[in-house]
Amino acid sequence: MTDKKLAQSLLYGMLRIRLVEEKIADLYSEQEMRCPVHLCIGQEAIPVGVSANLQKEDSVLGNHRSHGHYLAKGGNLQAMLAEIYGKATGCCKGMGGSMHLIDLSVNVLGTTPIVGSIIPIAVGAAFSAWMKNEKKVTVIFLGRAATEEGVFFESLNFAALKKLPILFVSEDNLFSVYSPLADRQPKERDNLSLAKSFGIAGTRGDGNNIETVYDLTRKGVEHIKRGDGPYFLEFETYRWREHCGPGYDNDLGYRNPDEFEEWHQRCPVENFEKKMLDASLIEKTQINQMRCDIQEEVESAFEFAKSSPFPNASQAFSNIYA
């Protein structure tokens, strides 16, 4: 990568997600965030590399581990943290928590925790854009375990049938909760082949390499914008923290210590930072300033969230549609 402005923007995006989530982890024990949190520390390259190829009018939907998806698309940080703290100023008015994020001003259409449930909703959003002849892309982030659900196949079928402008992004972090995917899916199972069986083009790449994510996503977005129908991306990555919560869970024995250390060495933030320094795309002083600017923003956003009011009890049954 030789584009200095783009490279610095990608690094900033990953570093921002990392510092936000590390602060969440640091403060979670205060017991003021009264909802589960699913952190994407170690996986930052995927949301940032994908969203860097999107326009404001393009839509994003995600799953339970979507802080990164929300922030990379431009979602309001103060509103996200206020939501996690259950405050009325949150993006869902304090009623959704960490796994229900939305910011319609930047077309983050929503995130949901039920595995696979957001996939057909994303296809519906793409179908709406297609019917209105809107020239925009819908992106759905999903975990690999979600590809076991029936709605995944139904969604691929309908998206292919209508040649919908949707990008499927599978984040393969090697586990489904505490189960290695090898215990859930046969070794021969290949999601790209499954997508191609519906006539959907796609490719696979290293989800910890921001340049790879950016380049492959650009290829997918160009495919969609040409009117060639859906595109399927699968990126291999690794979550550093526990499935749900702020800490580490290596003591549970489901991870191999050598595997964990190997993926730590493949840190998307540190490796890209080093590559940029070696290529003279950034100076160390600029990185230090980035960190200071982000930390200042993060501190301010946490202060906003903590000082915001809780929802009024009279609103408990507002915005309920079922």
Q: Over 80: is that where the pLDDT of 319 sits?
A: no
Q: Look at residue 92 and tell me if it is in a domain.
A: yes
pLDDT at 314: 85
Cα–Cα distance for residue pair 80/102, rounded to 1 Å: 8
304 assigned to some structural domain: no
pTM over 0.85: yes
Instruction: Give me the number of domains the chain comprises.
Output: 1
Mean pLDDT (whole number) for 25-39: 97
The two three-digit tokens of residue 140, written as one number: 């759905």
Using CB atoms within 10 Å of the CB of residue 110, give its burial: 0 to 12 exposed, 13 to 18 middle, 19+ buried.
buried
Inside any domain, residue 180: yes
Task: Answer yes or no: are the C-beta atoms of 72 and 83 closer than 8 Å.
Answer: no
Q: How far is CA 316 from the centre of its chain?
A: 29
Confidence (pLDDT) at 322: 62
Give domain status of residue 307, yes or no. no
CATH code for the domain of 81: 3.40.50.970
Of 282, 233, 259, nearest to 180 by C-alpha is 259
Asked if residue 101 is part of any domain, the answer here is yes
Q: Does the structure show a pLDDT above 90 at 246?
A: yes
In a domain, residue 264? The reply is yes
For residue 131, give both structure tokens.
Answer: 């019917």
In a domain, 320, yes or no: no
Tokens 């994003």, residue located: 60
Torsions phi, psi of 317, nearest 5? -110, 20
Mean pLDDT of 72-76: 98
The boundaries of the domain holding residue 66 are: 4-298
In a domain, 303, yes or no: no
